[in-house]
Structure 1
């Protein structure tokens, strides 16, 4: 059985779904979220868990035979960054302790494409050394720190670490007003009949639809052998605002969306991550381009709040 912490969040739920589709038994944990997505109903075991409680975490192993862990649980920073770092670090350490205690095969942890901040080479690939740079958000700072912590914590344990450098993911279950990805708020505005702000057609960057991200993570957990410890998880290409607006117009033809020519800040290249390693070792290819993702998401939102 594979444990997915944070398994009722956007990425966690889609990862759980993909693992089930691959034939795995899955237990998902959530601390405050209680609503089970319709696509997981009757397919996974749900456990309420505060990952900062070490005894409660280890007790999962008394109730389930856990073979692998995907640690996606995390919090949102408030006014106190120390409180955020303490919470997420405690959760990570408890997950690592459980991995060692249970002798799992593989331990995957969510990192972020943000760890590449400061590298000018595009696309970003896993062999790039991570620079010392001002990071855009406390979450990215924690993800960057979590990578060496995970590698060192699992040394000599027989547990294989898998660092998931996850790209800019959006889709079903994301907060429609999320500050972390502009697409759900943009589409929400369109669905309310509003005119969202005009976008520059050639601006864009890394983009991955949540079902694709979940399937990529599931394939990494399902693989018989992995040759590396670090994998970029995304679509492997840069998407543009032009593609997004064209897709919205196709799905919501009555929408009032405006597109400005070129790039807002002049010539340049928007960053995205390379997924050659992921594809070579798992066979992953994204199933959703921008048009298919927008169509699927608008259909989902027709029946779901988020």
Structure 2
């Protein structure tokens, strides 16, 4: 059985679904979120857990035969940076402690494409040096620290660490009002019959549709042999706003969205290592992702 912490969040839920589709038994933990997505209903075991509670975390091993861990649970920073780091560090250390205590095969931990900030070479790949740079968000600072903490904590334990450098993920269950990726907001506006502001045609960069990201993580947990401990998780190809607008207009006849000329593509992540080791390739391009997401949002608030 594979444990997915934060398994009712966007990435966690899609990871759980992909694992189930691969024939795995899955237990997910949830703390504040209690609604089980329709695509997991009746298929997954849900445990209410505050991952910062070490005793409660370790007690999961008394109730379930857990063979692998995907640690995706995390909090949202507020006004207290030390409190944020303390909370998420406690959850991370408890997951690593459980991995060692239970003798699992693999323990995967979420990092971020933000660790590459300051690296000018593109596309970003796992062998690039991670430069010292000003980081814009507390979450990115924590994710950058997660990587050595994970690999060193599991060294010599027989548990393989898997660091997941997760890209810009969006799709069903994404908060449509989030400022971090705008396509869900534009879909919301489109469904309300509103006209969102125009986009620069050539702006773009890294993104991956959530079902693809979940499948990538599931393959990293189930592939027999992994040759590395760190993997980029994304689509491996950049998108442009021109693609977004074309897809939005194709999905909803009559909807028009203007494009402004210019813009530039941000760096994106190379997934050659992921593909070579697991056989992963994305199922969704931008057009098919938007069609799927519009259909989902027609019946779901997020």
If the TM-score is normalised by the length of the shorter chain, which range does it land in?
over 0.9
The residue number in structure 1 matching 2:270 is 274
- SS of the equivalent of 2:142 reads helix
Distance 1:295 1:136 in 2: 32
After superposition, the C-alpha distances for 1:140-174 in whole angstroms (9 at most, x for unaligned) are: 11000000000110011000000000000000001
What displacement does 1:136 show?
A: 1.9
The answer as to 2:155 corresponding to 1:159 is no
The residue number in structure 2 matching 1:214 is 214
The residue number in structure 2 matching 1:194 is 194
Distance 1:176 1:210 in 2: 14
Gaps of 5+ in 2: none
What displacement does 1:197 show?
A: 1.0
The residue number in structure 2 matching 1:293 is 289
Q: Residues 236 and 275 of structure 1 are in contact (CA less than 8 Å); yes or no, is this contact kept in structure 2?
A: yes
- SS of the equivalent of 1:70 reads strand
Q: Residues 13 and 37 of structure 1 are in contact (CA less than 8 Å); yes or no, is this contact kept in structure 2?
A: yes
Distance 2:38 2:112 in 1: 27
The residue number in structure 1 matching 2:32 is 32
Gaps of 5+ in 1: none
Distance 1:234 1:152 in 2: 25
Q: Residues 240 and 265 of structure 2 are in contact (CA less than 8 Å); yes or no, is this contact kept in structure 1?
A: no
The residue number in structure 1 matching 2:299 is 303
What displacement does 1:189 show?
A: 1.4
Distance 1:66 1:181 in 2: 34
User: Superposition RMSD on alpha carbons, in Å?
Assistant: 0.7
Distance 1:64 1:278 in 2: 29
What displacement does 1:180 show?
A: 2.1
The answer as to 2:111 corresponding to 1:111 is yes
After superposition, the C-alpha distances for 1:71-95 in whole angstroms (9 at most, x for unaligned) are: 0000111111111111000000000
Distance 1:89 1:66 in 2: 22
The residue number in structure 1 matching 2:74 is 74
Question: What is the TM-score normalised by the length of structure 1?
Answer: 0.98
The answer as to 2:245 corresponding to 1:245 is yes
The residue number in structure 2 matching 1:96 is 96
Distance 1:134 1:126 in 2: 20
Question: What is the TM-score normalised by the length of structure 2?
Answer: 0.99
The residue number in structure 1 matching 2:65 is 65
Distance 2:112 2:202 in 1: 24
- SS of the equivalent of 1:28 reads strand
The residue number in structure 2 matching 1:255 is 255
- SS of the equivalent of 1:38 reads coil
Q: Residues 200 and 259 of structure 2 are in contact (CA less than 8 Å); yes or no, is this contact kept in structure 1?
A: yes
Q: Residues 206 and 238 of structure 1 are in contact (CA less than 8 Å); yes or no, is this contact kept in structure 2?
A: yes
- SS of the equivalent of 1:39 reads coil
Q: Residues 202 and 265 of structure 2 are in contact (CA less than 8 Å); yes or no, is this contact kept in structure 1?
A: no
The residue number in structure 1 matching 2:138 is 138
What displacement does 1:235 show?
A: 0.3
Q: Residues 190 and 256 of structure 1 are in contact (CA less than 8 Å); yes or no, is this contact kept in structure 2?
A: no
The residue number in structure 1 matching 2:231 is 231
